[in-house]
Structure 1
């Protein structure tokens, strides 16, 4: 039996138990992996629902244009539905969002306008304001407004909530959602609490968002608002989709902790998730003192890691923001029990050099002259030369020497040494604080990165 179109694949996403990344938690944690939806995110559910409700209410007419401000995922769901229903799409987004998201929206036929992040929502340049203006200026258009469109949370009340309840056989005790528009946490939370009022609903927020303070105090404090990197969660205003009576707790997670946890989920569970999934699971670890052995936690993994390959899954991007524990060449040297540099004088014989390689089980040796490092020899280079001329072993090292190894700062991060290592150059030299040289080979670097 086949499906009529791609929209029929939305929903019924799997619930998968986490193991390595849940280590240290007292209870089972199940991930509702929403990237199995066709647009690779939880937003597909509410995108289609908002379109259907708009059609029923006569707000979206045939041949119309869908206009929305989106961090990317809602736009993808809307774009997919628009393709099948014959609508055009114009989306505004922020310059904080990943390039991958913008490119995918364009690939789905949408027009995308990128707006600055660091402006007030009311600012004419904000992606909220630009989308509203376009809706007024564009004939036969529908402004979706996922933040205040209550069909957003209705989709999760009707679909996501019942799925989680059925998949856990009603045993769920905690729902954890990294929340932005409020639709998922409020819609699912409402359904679950109607089934069992004791179920705890935890919303996960980002530092720089005002939602947590608003939840705790009822105060809209713009002093809480400042730029943050995490995508798709937190807000600088309170969307109407929030129904705080169905939320028991708000927890904030740093940009760094969310990014690191997302990478752990990918590497340790094989579940390639987006930024907000890392934040959601990190929040559970931060709140583990509130959990008991028999609890059953469901955490929503909103979207797919392919949206973030240029960001959190890019080592250079992580290093530039201080999100990775930077291991330097100094760390490699400090971890050695014997730091003596093995070298060979250029006046020694090739056989002497080979003996040193065998004795110390090394493949790269600096060549010295009058106490100064002037060149190098390698096992790879010697092999080819001796293979072609066995008598070469009686010649002097000076005749077979290779280019000297690059000298690199001892404070250089390991991740930035790849430009110094090549097929022809298998090692680098670093000088420590007291002036002694140390050799670091490509195998040293590989071992360091693998730890």
Structure 2
């Protein structure tokens, strides 16, 4: 019989598929390694198995034990699948921005899911990493997988992913392109390929443009399972020990829009339903192929399936709300109500540490200039030349309401404004129909909204501006 004894035997050994490119005869051939065809649906199956096996060998995990991990979803799924097959309890701590499909899949494996806010500095005791460590310590028989610093993470790829790619390409690979999350995939795979090729294989990281790995400022981005986000109030930015920077030759920054639209094109043009990080990796691989020449062989890792992101990257409404789609050009859109000059300057923004007195000053200056006296606000600072992302817009401050709070004694001028934030302003993407945005504002009895483009706040728009741009 051709049969397997355990689901863990179905992890890895994923196929290579030649991707269609538009580079013509002068571009290198590009192959995608389809990690979403592994048993648990992602590249993280490999480390889930390897980390648990190593913990068992080291006596850290035994019968009746509990596996605990902080994850953006895929590592949790890989661990949960292996844990279920071996009879372990599984607890996964996730950021609250994780896709609903991943949460549902984890629970389907019997894992207990603990959600924590995603916008916390590393030192906060409620941060996902701190929470997971605390649960593991307080749980009898608990073991923290710790993918970020666990040497079994890159080792899994050194032992499996690298050799598979070398064998599948007949040793012809010249470039490896992989996203960097924990760093295990690119570090382990890249090290093997460099060693076996005598150092000729180049290893290129693909990274969200705002991730610190590629030199970004660490602000939130919209591609899950890639990059390194840094809260501005994090005291020490500690990079994962699983990421071996000496293996990586360079890192290419890829904007969220390019990543997401590349994922969508792979589904619609090549029948590959993959996640946003695969879009990041393929976008980078196409750049590498264009410059590498026709003799090169580029292999890129496609980490997971798009089935986990159907309510995000493949949902037109979600993308329109965030401004990642441009909408119907035959329709008046929200972006049409934003003057070009307004788009070119950063949106005024308050952070939670701004004092009430300073907030009042800023709001009064707006009113004196004839502008609306309301501003979006968030819990942490945003640089003066940077537009805040949608996740950073945690509230709003209006002049009249704040002045009334001071007059009544409910607010003190020296107080941080964080304690006096109103609910966030409504948000509309530049590509959404202006008529629908106006209808929503009218229904809610509101006058002002934030306009988003590619997930960033670029302007405020009022009902009057929306009304004015619509045909009579």
TM-score (norm 2): 0.68
- 1:424 maps to what in 2? none
Matches within 5 A, 1:293-308: 293-308=294-309
- 1:176 maps to what in 2? 177
- 1:229 maps to what in 2? 222
The 2-side partners of 1:30 and 1:416 are apart by 43
Residues 21 and 268 in structure 1, CA contact (< 8 A), matched pair in contact too: no
- Other structure's SS at 1:120 match: coil
Matches within 5 A, 1:202-217: 202-213=204-215
Matches within 5 A, 1:188-267: 188-196=189-197, 197-213=199-215, 224-235=217-228, 236=230, 237-267=238-268
- Other structure's SS at 1:59 match: coil
**CA offset at residue 326 of structure 1?**
1.8
Residues 66 and 89 in structure 1, CA contact (< 8 A), matched pair in contact too: yes
User: Over alpha carbons, which structure has the higher Rg?
Assistant: 1
The 2-side partners of 1:212 and 1:72 are apart by 23
Using a 3 Å threshold, how does the CA distance of structure 1 residues 123 and 208 change in structure 2: closer, same or farther? farther
- 1:81 maps to what in 2? 82
TM-score (norm 1): 0.71
Answering whether residue 123 of structure 2 is matched by residue 122 of structure 1, we say yes
Using a 3 Å threshold, how does the CA distance of structure 1 residues 182 and 296 change in structure 2: closer, same or farther? same
Query: Which structure 2 residue ranges, 5 or more long, are not aligned?
Result: 231-237, 334-430, 438-466
**CA offset at residue 208 of structure 1?**
2.9
Residues 320 and 432 in structure 2, CA contact (< 8 A), matched pair in contact too: no
**CA offset at residue 331 of structure 1?**
8.3
Residue by residue, what CA displacement relative to the aligned partner does 1:147-171 show, whole Å, maximum 9, x if unpaired?
Answer: 0001010010000000000000000
- Other structure's SS at 1:169 match: coil
Matches within 5 A, 1:8-407: 8-20=9-21, 26-196=27-197, 197-213=199-215, 224-235=217-228, 236=230, 237-288=238-289, 290-330=291-331
Using a 3 Å threshold, how does the CA distance of structure 1 residues 28 and 414 change in structure 2: closer, same or farther? farther
The 2-side partners of 1:414 and 1:281 are apart by 34
Using a 3 Å threshold, how does the CA distance of structure 1 residues 126 and 75 change in structure 2: closer, same or farther? same
**CA offset at residue 97 of structure 1?**
1.3
Larger CA deviation: 300-309 vs 22-31: 22-31
Residues 28 and 290 in structure 2, CA contact (< 8 A), matched pair in contact too: no
The 2-side partners of 1:180 and 1:76 are apart by 16
The 1-side partners of 2:24 and 2:328 are apart by 25
Using a 3 Å threshold, how does the CA distance of structure 1 residues 69 and 22 change in structure 2: closer, same or farther? farther
Query: Which structure 1 residue ranges, 5 or more long, are not aligned?
Result: 214-222, 333-410, 418-430, 437-451
Larger CA deviation: 142-151 vs 289-298: 289-298
The size of the alignment, in residue pairs, is 337
Residues 176 and 190 in structure 2, CA contact (< 8 A), matched pair in contact too: yes
The 2-side partners of 1:435 and 1:104 are apart by 47
- 2:427 maps to what in 1? none
The 2-side partners of 1:23 and 1:432 are apart by 47
The 2-side partners of 1:331 and 1:434 are apart by 7
- Other structure's SS at 2:69 match: strand
Using a 3 Å threshold, how does the CA distance of structure 1 residues 88 and 21 change in structure 2: closer, same or farther? farther
- Other structure's SS at 1:329 match: coil
Using a 3 Å threshold, how does the CA distance of structure 1 residues 102 and 171 change in structure 2: closer, same or farther? same
Residue by residue, what CA displacement relative to the aligned partner does 1:261-310 show, whole Å, maximum 9, x if unpaired?
Answer: 00011111101101100011112334455311111000000000000000
- Other structure's SS at 1:31 match: strand
**CA offset at residue 68 of structure 1?**
0.2
Using a 3 Å threshold, how does the CA distance of structure 1 residues 76 and 21 change in structure 2: closer, same or farther? farther
**CA offset at residue 17 of structure 1?**
0.3
Using a 3 Å threshold, how does the CA distance of structure 1 residues 17 and 122 change in structure 2: closer, same or farther? same
- Other structure's SS at 2:265 match: helix
Residues 186 and 247 in structure 1, CA contact (< 8 A), matched pair in contact too: yes
Residue by residue, what CA displacement relative to the aligned partner does 1:360-408 show, whole Å, maximum 9, x if unpaired?
Answer: xxxxxxxxxxxxxxxxxxxxxxxxxxxxxxxxxxxxxxxxxxxxxxxxx
Residues 230 and 275 in structure 1, CA contact (< 8 A), matched pair in contact too: yes
**CA offset at residue 325 of structure 1?**
2.4
Larger CA deviation: 175-184 vs 289-298: 289-298
**CA offset at residue 95 of structure 1?**
1.5
Residues 152 and 241 in structure 1, CA contact (< 8 A), matched pair in contact too: yes
The 1-side partners of 2:137 and 2:470 are apart by 70
Once superposed, what is the RMSD of the aligned Cα atoms? Answer: 2.6
Residue by residue, what CA displacement relative to the aligned partner does 1:39-71 show, whole Å, maximum 9, x if unpaired?
Answer: 100000111000000000001111100000011
**CA offset at residue 105 of structure 1?**
0.3
Using a 3 Å threshold, how does the CA distance of structure 1 residues 34 and 277 change in structure 2: closer, same or farther? same
- Other structure's SS at 1:298 match: strand
